[in-house]
Amino acid sequence: MSEEKDALQKENSVKTNNDEDLKEASAEKAVEEEITEVVEELDELAKAQQSASEWEDKFMRAHAEMQNIQRRSREERESLVRYRSQDLAKKILPALDNLERALLEEADESLKKGIQMVQESLIQALRDEGVQEIETQGARFDPTLHMAVKTVEATEEDPAETITQVLQKGYKLHDRVLRPTMVVVAK
């Protein structure tokens, strides 16, 4: 019986070893499955983070674009308000020139006084809107402000590139030239 007992113990020992091996294999398989799941979850997390980063970048770009659109719109509105009277001023300037020429003519003093009052009120209305005469007294020729229609020889009193005579006054609205001053320039 001892042999049977030994055989049974051996058999039980083999079964125990087999059970332990099976348990170990099962545990290893469970660990491998968990590792696979964790790796898959990490991959999904990395993809989600990349997607979130891309969406954040798109959001930031869209936000910056909206700010640029708002800024440009505000600047356009400010420009429209600032230069709203440009077309009207351009239409009034020839009438102002005619009034100035009328004042140079010999006429009744009361007529001249009336013309002068109209001229002054027009000039004041234009000033109120930001229109101002381009200064040319003793100025150097500036092609952004002046239009040279004739040149004369330079002298000591009138060195080269200076304005010697104004043929027609020029005007600007704030910093924008409405009409350049027509001048004679010493060369």
User: What are the tens digits of pLDDT across the range 82-126?
Assistant: 888 898 999 999 999 999 888 888 878 888 899 999 999 999 999
Helix or strand holding residue 101 (H, E): helix 86-104
Contact 163, 146 (CB under 8 A): yes
Task: Write down the pLDDT at residue 46.
Answer: 94
pTM for this structure?
0.61
Task: Write down the pLDDT at residue 108.
Answer: 86
Task: Write down the pLDDT at residue 78.
Answer: 92
List pLDDT tens digits, range 26-66: 888 888 999 999 999 999 999 999 999 999 999 999 999 99
For residue 180 the two structure tokens come to 């350049």
Count the Cβ atoms, other than its own, within 10 Å of residue 93. Answer: 19
List pLDDT tens digits, range 132-165: 999 887 789 999 999 999 999 988 888 899 999 9
Task: Write down the pLDDT at residue 149.
Answer: 95
For residue 65 the two structure tokens come to 């674009």
For residue 111 the two structure tokens come to 């007529």
The sheet that has 181-186: what strands, in order across it? 146-152, 181-186, 163-168
Task: Write down the pLDDT at residue 92.
Answer: 92
